C-alpha cells in the first residue's frame, strides 16, 4: 500500500498513529519495523507512533497520553479545559479520565478513575476524545476559587458550550460527599439558577454605552485571543484594529497574584500587536470624555 495513506491519517491526529491503525491500513509488522528504522515513524510509547516531521505540540502529547491510557479514556479536567479554551487555562496539563479501576497508567499523565463516564459526558474536540464542556466545568471546580469558577461558567454559557440548566442537572447527579470541588460549585450554582441569563458586568454595559453613544463603532463583546498555551477573553474589542478595552473591577485586580497575571497578560497581548486600554468605574464616572478620546485615538492610529 502507499504510505501516503498513513501520512494522511496521522495528519488528522496531530501526527499520531497506533499500531492497530497501521495494521488495519495494511502495514505489516515487518513494514512497520522498516519505517521505524528509516525514521519515518518515531515510537512514542508502546503501540503508538508519531510521524517524523509532525510538529511537537501539546495536543500531540495529550493524544499520545490519552491513547496510551486505553480505548475508553478521555482527556479531562485541566486538559479538557485547555481543549475547550476555557478562560485562563493553559494548554500544558496532561490529565485523562478512565473507567475505574485504571489498568494502564502512562508516564507523565495524571489519571483520574471514574465510575461514571457515560456517553453524554464524552465527545471529540480537535481529534481528541474529551469530556463534554458540562462535565469539564464540574471536574475543574476542584482547582478554582468561587470567583474564577463563576467567570468560567458564565463564559461557557455565553459561548453556548453548555447551559446553567445542563450544569445544574449533571451536578445533581454527580454531587456526593467528599467529591472535590462540590462545595465550590454548589455556591456558584446558587447564584446561577437554571433559567438565568449569562450576565455582562454592569461596568461593561456602561462602557459600551458610553463609547457607542459617542459615535464610536460597536465593539465585539468577550473576544477570544489565543496566545500560545493560553486563551484570553477581552471585555470589549475591535479585532481588526487590535484594540481592546478591559473593564477593571478593583476587587478582581487587587491581589499580588492577580496583578502578576495582569502584567503577563498585557505583555503577551502587546507583543501580538494588541493595544489594551483600561476602564475603571472611577474613571468612567469622573472623566468619561478621556476614555472616549483614548479609544478614538487608538482606533484612528490602527486605521
How many Å apart are CA 144 and CA 268, to the nearest integer? 23
What confidence tier does 251 reach under pLDDT thresholds 50, 70, 90?
very low
3-state secondary structure 187-242: HHHHCCCCCCCCCCCHHHHHHHHHHHHCCCCCCEEEEEEEECCEEEEEEEEEHHHC
44-93 per-position pLDDT tens digit = 999 999 999 999 999 999 999 999 999 999 999 999 999 999 877 888 89
Burial environment of residue 233 by CB neighbours within 10 A (0 to 12, 13 to 18, 19 or more): buried
- Torsion angles phi and psi, residue 221, rounded to 5: -85, 135
**Which of these, 200, 206, 233, lies nearest to 291 by C-alpha position?**
206
How many Å apart are CA 151 and CA 182, to the nearest integer? 17
Q: Rounded mean pLDDT of 30-44?
A: 92
pLDDT (0 to 100) of residue 231: 85
Look up the pTM and report it.
Answer: 0.73
Cis before 101? omega within 30: yes
CATH of 202-302, one of 3.40.50.800, 3.90.420.10, 3.40.960.10, 2.70.98.40: 3.40.960.10
Amino acid at each position: 500500500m502507499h504510505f501516503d495513506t498513513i501520512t494522511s491519517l496521522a495528519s488528522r491526529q496531530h501526527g499520531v498513529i497506533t499500531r492497530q491503525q497501521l495494521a488495519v491500513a495494511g502495514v505489516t509488522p515487518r513494514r512497520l519495523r522498516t519505517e521505524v528504522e528509516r525514521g519515518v515513524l518515531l515510537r512514542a510509547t508502546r503501540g503508538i507512533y508519531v510521524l517524523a516531521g509532525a510538529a511537537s505540540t501539546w495536543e500531540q502529547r495529550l493524544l499520545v497520553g490519552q491513547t496510551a491510557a486505553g480505548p475508553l479514556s478521555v482527556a479531562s479536567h485541566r486538559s479538557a479545559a485547555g481543549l475547550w479554551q476555557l478562560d485562563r487555562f493553559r494548554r500544558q496539563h496532561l490529565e485523562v479520565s478512565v473507567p475505574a479501576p485504571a489498568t494502564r497508567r502512562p508516564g507523565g499523565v495524571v489519571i483520574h478513575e471514574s465510575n461514571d463516564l457515560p456517553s453524554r459526558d464524552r465527545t471529540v474536540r480537535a481529534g481528541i476524545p474529551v469530556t463534554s464542556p458540562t462535565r469539564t466545568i464540574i471536574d475543574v471546580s476542584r482547582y478554582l476559587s468561587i470567583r474564577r469558577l463563576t467567570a468560567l461558567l458564565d463564559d461557557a454559557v455565553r459561548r453556548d458550550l453548555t447551559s446553567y440548566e445542563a450544569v445544574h442537572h449533571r451536578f445533581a447527579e454527580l454531587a456526593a460527599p467528599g467529591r472535590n470541588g462540590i462545595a465550590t460549585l454548589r455556591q456558584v450554582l446558587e447564584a446561577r439558577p437554571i433559567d438565568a441569563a449569562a450576565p455582562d458586568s454592569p461596568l461593561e454595559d456602561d462602557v459600551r454605552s458610553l463609547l457607542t453613544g459617542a459615535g464610536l463603532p460597536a465593539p465585539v463583546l468577550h473576544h477570544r485571543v489565543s496566545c500560545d498555551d493560553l486563551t484570553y477573553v477581552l471585555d470589549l474589542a475591535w479585532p481588526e484594529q487590535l484594540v481592546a478595552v478591559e473593564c477593571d473591577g478593583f476587587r478582581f485586580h487587587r491581589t499580588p497574584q492577580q496583578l502578576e497575571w495582569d502584567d503577563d497578560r498585557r505583555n503577551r497581548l502587546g507583543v501580538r500587536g494588541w493595544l489594551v486600554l483600561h476602564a475603571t468605574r472611577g474613571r468612567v464616572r469622573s472623566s468619561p470624555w478621556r476614555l472616549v478620546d483614548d479609544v478614538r485615538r487608538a482606533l484612528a492610529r490602527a486605521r
